Amino acid sequence: MQPVLIIAGPTASGKSHLALAAAQEFCGTVINADSMQIYRELRILTARPTPEEEGVVPHRLYGVMDAAERCSAGRWATLASVEIAAAHAAGRLPIVVGGTGFYLKALTQGLSAMPEVPAEARAEAVALRDQLGPQAFHAELARIDPRAGERLLVVDAQRVTRAYEVWLATGRSLSDWQDEPPVPPLPDAHFLTFVLDPPRDALYAACDARFDAMLAQGALEEVRALAALGLDLALPAMKALGVPDLLRHLEGQINLGEAAMAAKQATRQFAKRQSTWFRTQIGPSERVSEQFSESLCQKIFTKIRDSRLTTQI
């Protein structure tokens, strides 16, 4: 069996700090499982580890894609599998850390086989969406894939477009593809999963404090540089927490205080959704309902030792 430590939980729960401490304690390699930290242009607003932290132990899949790219759960799981194998080959413990639950589910449980969609099919789907408008485009999807039409909201343009482009590229509906049995990318892996689930009040306070710190560290300038790239606002990186609100400020629509308030609210709402998702979708080896602290690290380290996970490397 191949040992893999997973540290999951909502934003601002202390995952990255715990992962760094665990990597130091157990000779680990930290592997990113956050869908926004994968973009190189968003170090501050996504709370990526600092260059100094990345220099302490190996960090992988942080800032490896341009904001102009899209990263799917399947693509990430493939990249993560390669990094996990590389960590094992180097005699290190892979420590996968992040709050993107679907990425972690793809790694631990697998995804249904999905086709590669050519750029031409994607462009055709986007052009039709722009021509018809969101409502009519959604109706067209519902005609060819009734289950997707029922499941996806009109406002979820990214997923509606994805479902339509799969049909264009393959002649099969996305729902048909999703009916295929999932294929775990690491069938021989032994996962030990910790989900950090601190008290709601403490989590929300951490979200607010972290956004203030981001602004002090230059988040506004980071978004200004991102805006200068002239990217499609529908791209994932352009929807990262804080980006839409700071863009509205840069465009003169709201002041900085209003932008910060909106971003904090969006972050708290997102953290709540993450907490709910992890409670219902992933069965952790251990759920930790405490705020991050040094004593919590030591408790978790004891549980890792007791699991004998590190003896399997």
The pLDDT assigned to 211 comes to: 98
Contact present, 32 and 98 (Cβ < 8 Å): yes
Distance between CA atoms of residues 265 and 242, nearest Å: 10
Taken in order of first residue, the domains within the chain and their CATH numbers are: 2-111+183-312 (3.40.50.300), 119-178 (1.10.20.140)
Q: Exposed, middle or buried by CB within 10 Å (0-12, 13-18, 19+), for 285?
A: middle
**Angle between helix 119-132 and helix 134-144 axes, rounded to 10 deg:** 120
What would the pLDDT profile of 268-308 be if each residue is shown by its tens digit?
999 999 999 998 887 777 889 988 899 999 999 999 999 98
pLDDT in tens, 99-155: 999 999 999 998 877 777 888 998 999 999 999 999 999 999 999 999 999 999 998
Q: Give the percent of the chain with pLDDT over 90.
A: 82
Nearest-angstrom CA–CA distance, 262 and 135 = 27
Kindly report the pTM of this predicted structure: 0.85
Stretch 155-165: mean pLDDT: 92
**For the ranges 70-84, 109-123, 256-270, the one whose mean pLDDT is highest:** 256-270
pLDDT attached to residue 185: 85
